Amino acid sequence: MSNENQQPSLVASHANFISGAAKETVGQALGSTEWKQSGTAQKEHAVQDMKAAGEQRDPNKDGWGKAEEIAGKAAGCEGMEQEGAQSKK
């Protein structure tokens, strides 16, 4: 297996973060400490994966530019917003 295949993907990491946030919210709504803690842990792991994936990418060829910047603003993801701004062409 190549090293590239072992690197976390930004898209998968963002999806994992959203899933964790949803799990955390459900846990809060239902009063389930287990769900809340699981969601929090999932979000923390996703943030680490996003950081690792961001460090591996070249904003000049891998970025989505303005669309990524806007999506980052909408999602409240500063890293995504900054990477989009860096990759504008």
Task: Render pLDDT for 74-89 as a digit per residue (tens, 0 to 9).
Answer: 877 777 777 777 776 5
Q: What is the DSSP letter of 9?
A: P
Mean pLDDT of 62-80: 73
Q: Of 76 and 9, which is predicted with more confidence?
A: 9
Which sign, positive or negative, has the C-alpha torsion 22, 55, 53, 81? positive
Helices (H), the chain: 3-6, 10-30, 33-56, 59-62, 66-75, 78-86
Q: Are residues 49 and 16 in the same domain?
A: yes
- Domain span at 73: 65-89
Q: Are residues 20 and 46 in the same domain?
A: yes
CA nearest to 14, candidates 68, 86, 89? 68
Domain-embedded: residue 3: no
Total of domains in the chain: 2
